[in-house]
């Protein structure tokens, strides 16, 4: 990608900001698409090394605005589509907005990529599209289950991407990360929620403690995005990203408390529980296809990644909300 123009939507997000750094360091000419706000808040891009960020063209807009997306796609060789509303609790209360951004926004990205004849579009899916595992490990053939408006919107977006590959031959790759974590992630996600409470409070409030997840460190996830563009054989494929290791939320709490250095009581907070039919009880990835098609395997262990994440959040604790504030 050296010297090629690359677009990243959702560039102000957690994964997007790390991908921006990785792309700049490959020598790509990077355009970052962020959601407009009058404060000129660029989200997690504020944590990017200023020298790196100075090489990035930041453009603001809304994925639902087809003209804004069209303009951002102009002259682009490769596009990484990470822009989405990703909060599951938020999708319960605002499903129209979530569907508008995640489905119609993705359609705008696809139309623009097709018109500008991009060489590859990498689309970001989520393991939430699988719902509660019917079998484990979960491979890419597992049924899709829309157990929340968010997961349903991502299923819709994934199928649109598939249709543009089948109908128009648009060169696409769908990356389906299981739970990514690491520095810069907000307390919308469970790991920063646990860490900030462990550092700031005398107890940890959570929802379902028995649910299990497969966590991947952000640098590993970003590496897979880069490989998706580099591998022509990945075109038209949907590929899981996961470690093949699951851990319950209760066990995760114990690990984080050991790293932080204390025993902190954990309390089930009813407002943090999903509706019964929407709860995803188990997610565990089968990652054979990512190894075969992308040449990708995760290299950062959960223990190492968690220690790095705790260190980063500890150093930026003032940027996080108070422990008793439930972020949706």
pLDDT tens track for 46-93: 999 999 999 999 999 999 999 999 999 999 999 999 999 999 999 999
Taking only the tens place, the pLDDT of each residue in 200-239 is 999 999 999 999 999 999 999 999 999 999 999 999 999 9
Percent of the chain with pLDDT over 90: 95
pTM above 0.85, yes or no: yes
Percent of the chain with pLDDT over 70: 100
Domains in the chain with CATH codes: 5-179+217-244+284-300 (3.40.50.720)
d(CA 212, CA 138): 13
Least Cα distance to 190 among 120, 168, 135, 198 occurs for: 198
d(CA 93, CA 246): 29
What residues contact residue 191 under an 8 Å CB cut-off, 6+ apart? Answer: 181, 185, 215, 252, 256, 306, 309
Backbone angles phi, psi at 279, to 5 degrees: -65, 130
Q: Quick check: 243 pLDDT over 80? A: yes
d(CA 268, CA 264): 13
Taking only the tens place, the pLDDT of each residue in 168-191 is 999 999 999 999 999 999 999 999
d(CA 143, CA 106): 22
What are the catalytic residues? 150
d(CA 264, CA 203): 5
Handedness of CA 109, 47, 56, 1 (dihedral sign): negative
Backbone angles phi, psi at 131, to 5 degrees: 65, -165
Dihedral class, residue 283 (left if φ above 0, else alpha if ψ from -120 to 50, else beta): beta
Pairing of strands 212-213, 247-248: antiparallel
Taking only the tens place, the pLDDT of each residue in 86-107 is 999 999 999 999 999 999 999 9
Give whole-number Cα distances, 231 to 111, 114, 220, in Å.
Answer: 23, 20, 16
d(CA 79, CA 82): 10
Which residues on neighbouring strands pair with residue 33, listed in sequence order? 9, 59
As a whole number, mean pLDDT of residues 118-123 equals 98
Give whole-number Cα distances, 308 to 142, 179, 188, 268, 312, in Å.
Answer: 32, 16, 19, 26, 6
d(CA 110, CA 125): 14
Helix (H) or strand (E) holding 262: none
């Amino acid at each position: 990608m050296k010297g090629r123009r690359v677009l990243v939507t959702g560039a102000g997000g957690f994964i997007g900001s790390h991908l921006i750094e990785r792309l700049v360091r490959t020598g790509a000419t990077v355009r970052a698409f962020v959601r407009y706000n009058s404060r000129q808040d660029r989200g997690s891009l504020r944590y990017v090394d200023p020298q790196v960020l100075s090489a990035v063209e930041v453009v603001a807009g809304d994925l639902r605005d087809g003209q804004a997306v069209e303009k951002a796609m102009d002259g682009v060789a490769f596009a990484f589509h990470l822009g989405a509303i990703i909060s599951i609790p938020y999708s319960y209360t605002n499903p129209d907005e979530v569907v508008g951004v995640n489905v119609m926004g993705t359609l705008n990205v696809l139309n623009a990529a097709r018109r500008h004849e991009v060489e590859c579009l990498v689309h970001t899916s989520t393991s939430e599209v699988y719902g509660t595992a019917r079998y484990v490990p979960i491979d890419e053939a597992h049924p899709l289950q829309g157990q929340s408006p968010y997961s349903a919107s991502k299923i819709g977006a994934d199928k649109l991407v598939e249709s543009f590959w089948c109908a128009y031959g648009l060169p696409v790759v769908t990356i389906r990360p299981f739970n990514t974590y690491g520095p810069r992630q907000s307390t919308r996600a469970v790991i920063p929620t646990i860490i900030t409470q462990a550092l700031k409070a005398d107890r940890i409030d959570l929802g379902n403690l028995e649910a299990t997840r497969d966590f991947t460190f952000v640098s590993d996830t970003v590496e897979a995005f880069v490989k998706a563009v580099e591998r022509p054989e990945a075109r038209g494929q949907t590929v899981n990203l996961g470690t093949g290791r699951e851990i319950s939320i209760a066990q995760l709490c114990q690990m984080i408390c050991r790293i932080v250095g204390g025993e902190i009581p954990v309390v089930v907070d009813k407002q943090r529980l999903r509706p019964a039919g929407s709860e995803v009880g188990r997610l565990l990835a089968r990652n054979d296809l990512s190894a075969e098609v992308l040449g990708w395997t995760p290299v950062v262990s959960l223990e190492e990644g968690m220690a790095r994440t705790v260190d980063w959040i500890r150093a930026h604790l003032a940027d996080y909300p108070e422990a008793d504030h439930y972020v949706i």
